[in-house]
A = this chain, B = another copy of it.
């Protein structure tokens, strides 16, 4: 099974972005291992009832980010050396989302302890290692 990808066409987030995020998550959690092949541009496009260009755009972004590697004529594969961001680089990329979260919570008048509780609750549900198909 070459990695199941699904998208919500009605969502406000672009289709190509959804594809990028899913592959990124699969690669990060280990559900997709280095060397695994992604569905071909045309195959996935047909499966999702979406234009091949949209998938090509998503794959292009994955290659640009270092998550995947394209081998022209063969296909696109999960990159070998898992984009090793430094601690600082990783923190920099995550900080935007963190800022957004804290800002939203503070704006709504959520007390500090409640923010912490919500955070801890969600963190305990996160899977950091191997991903399973049926959570």
Nearest CB on B from A83, distance (A)? 8
Closest-by-CB residue of B relative to A85 is B108
In the assembly, how many copies of this chain are there?
A: 2
Q: Is the CB of B93 within 8 A of A25?
A: no
B-contact bits for A70-109, CB 8 A (1 contact / 0 none): 0000000000001001010011011101111111111111
Q: At the interface, is chain A mostly helix, strand, loop or mixed?
A: helix
Residue in B82, B91, B100 whose beta carbon sits within 8 Å of that of A101 in the complex: B100
- Beyond A97-B100, A98-B101, A101-B97, whether A90 also contacts B119 by CB under 8 A is no
Q: Is the CB of A91 within 8 A of B118?
A: yes
Q: Is A64 an interface residue (CB 8 A)?
A: no
Q: Is A115 an interface residue (CB 8 A)?
A: yes
In the complex, what residues of B have CB within 8 A of residue A82's CB?
Answer: 109
Residue in B24, B85, B119 whose beta carbon sits within 8 Å of that of A119 in the complex: B119
How far, in whole Å, are A38 and B17 apart by their CA atoms in the complex?
Answer: 37
Q: Is the CB of B109 within 8 A of A25?
A: no
Q: Is A134 an interface residue (CB 8 A)?
A: no
B-contact bits for A13-31, CB 8 A (1 contact / 0 none): 0000000010011001100
Inter-chain pairs besides A85-B109, A98-B118, 7 sampled, C-beta below 8 Å: A25-B107, A91-B114, A97-B104, A98-B119, A112-B126, A112-B128, A115-B123
